[in-house]
Structure 1
């Protein structure tokens, strides 16, 4: 069963549809608490993807540069302020004009649940560097309090969100190493992989077995 959601901004209908679908997964697989937890994980990833698109729209409209360090810092500060002052409809129009959207695809069967959160804008090198740093930090800590105390000066708040994702995955009893972020074409994709059978073989291992130890290309199996 594959279900796909298309999202421009985080309006209530989008949230409600995804939440209901996650609750139905809990009922289907008879795993108490799974629905709300998966929803919270997906919601955090959607938040990050939507904000990335909104930031691109804002930078484009106000001539800020992602490549210039000073322009990026100034644009980021202005963008944070704009999130509190610009209406939902204005944001929708802005991202539509640039053709930006987030796609959530859920592929579930009796062996595993795969969730892809895809943003149709590729990460710039600085964004990817920060993301990898946030993920590495999140893997090191035991809880959000420890993460906040150690890395409370995070410039965009994305680090705390990724730490939350890692903690929630651990709380469900799944291996956070199955969580991947990669580029595919001109898109950025976050993949969640939740095994439901003890003998399940994860995507990365299947691919490594297929490659028989040859070097891994850039992309989905990073």
Structure 2
């Protein structure tokens, strides 16, 4: 803990690597989030930040499990129809025990999860990364889940609408969006993206810690107006400030 506390005091980036989130892993995530927020005088955000980042790690673990399961079942994940059939089987069989049983498979396939905290006094960014790109159908499903999540303001509403089908309906995405919304943080602070040229997929949380901080989405809009560039051109060169 001394190393983590010293790193936070110095404002340096912290990364954790895991294959399955254990109780100790949860403790570390909580400790790091609490330390960064305390450093910035925003400890009241811990009840928002910690559940959100934990949910993202759980989602990343399910993504790893899905790839192992599809390989075992001989499912062609690049085929949309086959993917959807595989997801029906996967949802029926997915349990915590199943995930724990495949821990060695995650290590053998290098399906690790990297959680990175990078921050200043004005903003905390958290990135949860899988080391493989999105499948075509996954990208479609994520867009659908983000769009659907916009219509819910509470988890109770979500459960009432989807009953027991929360796994397929996007509970994780909805939960994170609601947590941000209820804390007054724009839902656009939560994004899922692929990094061009890299074999990875990441979910990112951008948590403003100071009233003066301008979120990266707003920075992009302002730079778009100032530069006169097209959206596509600016996306290739845009580097948001985290100060």
Report the TM-score when normalising by structure 1.
0.86
In the other structure, the counterpart of 1:177 is: 188
The Cα RMSD (Å) is 2.5
1:156 aligns with 2:167: yes
Q: Distance in 1 between matches of 2:171 and 2:158?
A: 7
8 Å contact kept, 1:58–1:79: yes
> Where does the alignment leave 5 or more consecutive residues of structure 2 unmatched?
1-11, 239-243
Q: Distance in 1 between matches of 2:99 and 2:140?
A: 31
| CA positional deviation for 1:31 | 2.5
Per-residue CA distance 1:82-116 (angstroms, 9 max, x = gap): 5355362x312111121111111111111111111
In the other structure, the counterpart of 1:115 is: 126
1:137 aligns with 2:164: no
8 Å contact kept, 2:34–2:43: no
8 Å contact kept, 2:57–2:113: yes
Structure 1 residues 190 and 84: alpha-carbon distance in aligned structure 2, compared to 1, 3 A threshold: closer
> Where does the alignment leave 5 or more consecutive residues of structure 1 unmatched?
none
In the other structure, the counterpart of 1:198 is: 211
Report the TM-score when normalising by structure 2.
0.80
Q: Distance in 1 between matches of 2:95 and 2:186?
A: 34
Structure 1 residues 22 and 138: alpha-carbon distance in aligned structure 2, compared to 1, 3 A threshold: same
8 Å contact kept, 1:23–1:36: no
1:186 aligns with 2:202: no
1:51 aligns with 2:62: yes
| CA positional deviation for 1:200 | 1.6
8 Å contact kept, 1:106–1:113: yes
Task: Please say which of residues 162-171 and 196-205 is displaced more in the overlay.
Answer: 196-205
Q: Secondary structure at the match of 2:211?
A: coil
What does 1:1-222 correspond to in 2, within 5 Å? Answer: 1-69=12-80, 71-80=82-91, 81=93, 83=95, 85-86=97-98, 88=100, 90-152=101-163, 154=165, 156-157=167-168, 159-184=170-195, 185-208=198-221, 209=223, 212-216=228-232
